[in-house]
Chain A
Amino acid sequence: MHDFFYYIQLLLAGITVGSLYALIAIGYTMVYGILRLINFAHGDIFMAAGFFMIFISATTSIYVSLPIVLILTVILGVAVERVAYRPLREAPRMSVMISAIGVSYLLQNFATYYTGGLARPYPVIPFLTREVTIGSMTVKALTIITPVLTVILVVALVLLINRTKIGMAMRAVAKDQNTARLMGIKINNVISVTFVIGSFLAAVGSILYFSNYEQVTPTAGAMPGLKAFVAAVFGGIGSIPGAVLGAYVIGIVETFIKANNDYAIFSNAFTFALLIIILVFRPHGLFGEKLTEKV
Chain B
Amino acid sequence: MSDLSFDGYAPTWCPGCGDWGIRVGIKSALEQLGFDPSTLFISFDIGCSGNMNDFINGYAMHGLHGRSIPTAVGMKCAHHDMKTIVIGGDGGIYGEGGNHFLHACRGNHDITVIVHDNMVYGLTTGQVAPTAKKGFKSKSTPQGIIEVPVNPLALAITQGASFVSQGFAGDARSLIEIIKAAVTHKGFSLVNILQPCVTFNKINTYQYYLKNTYKLPEDYKSGDKKEAIAKSMEVYEEKYPLGILYREEKPAYHENIPQLEGPLVNRVRFTDFEPFTSSFV
Q: Do A and B interact?
A: no
| Chain A residues in the interface with B (C-beta under 8 A) | none
